[in-house]
């Protein structure tokens, strides 16, 4: 009987330790920067208005699910007139008030996420931007530190692929390629 109780205790402890943990996206731990060429100069923008959740078991990061949203009305290029064109004509934020990413699968160099040991992974999912949904694979570095988890990476997009208006200044049109660096941080509930 003791052996049976001991086995039941081990099974219960294993099940409890494998429970999913929930993390809430925390804007102070997040950042987004984007760069695009306007022929005669580089346009640099920022935002940190992220929201969403990360749910998963650090013992198997490949089972995690991520849902992140970003408010494009907060994109800031340090030029009010340019920001207004970006919001009204390019991103049409009245019609499309959020940029969102929802994961479908995670591939990682190791399944277990250990504290303060960055882990390389690729997150596959759907990016919703400007009214369109596209499947993407995004390489990231994931780090667990105390009650926080972060995912950081780089990606590139072509504005024409998303039907995003590219404004002109005199004869020069905003380039099609945009480079993005992001850091998404979340705090355990």
pLDDT tens string for the chain (189 positions)?
555 444 444 444 434 445 789 999 999 999 999 999 987 789 999 999 999 999 999 999 999 999 999 999 999 999 999 999 999 999 999 999 999 999 999 999 999 999 999 999 999 999 999 999 999 999 999 999 999 999 999 999 999 999 999 998 777 889 999 999 999 999 999
Which distant-in-sequence residues (6+ apart) come within 8 Å of 81 by Cβ?
none
pTM metric for this prediction: 0.86
Report the CATH fold assignment for 22-188.
Lipocalin (2.40.128)
Q: Which DSSP state fits 147?
A: T
Domain boundaries, the chain: 22-188
């Amino acid at each position: 009987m003791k052996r049976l109780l001991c086995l039941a205790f081990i099974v219960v402890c294993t099940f409890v330790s494998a429970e999913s943990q929930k993390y809430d996206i925390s804007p102070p731990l997040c950042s987004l920067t984007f760069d695009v060429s306007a022929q005669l100069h580089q346009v640099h923008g920022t935002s940190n208005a992220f929201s969403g959740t990360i749910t998963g078991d650090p013992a198997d990061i490949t089972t995690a699910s991520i849902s992140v949203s970003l408010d494009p009305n907060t994109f800031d290029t340090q030029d009010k007139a340019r920001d207004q064109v970006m919001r009204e004509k390019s991103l049409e934020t009245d019609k499309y008030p959020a940029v969102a990413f929802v994961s479908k699968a995670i591939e990682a160099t190791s399944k277990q996420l250990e504290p303060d040991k960055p882990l390389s992974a690729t997150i596959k999912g759907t990016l919703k931007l400007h009214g369109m949904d596209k499947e993407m694979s995004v390489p990231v570095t994931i780090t667990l530190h105390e009650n926080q988890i972060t995912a950081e990476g780089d990606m590139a997009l072509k504005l024409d692929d998303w039907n995003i208006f590219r404004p002109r200044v005199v004869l020069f049109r905003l380039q099609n390629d945009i480079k993005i660096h992001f850091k998404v941080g979340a705090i355990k509930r």
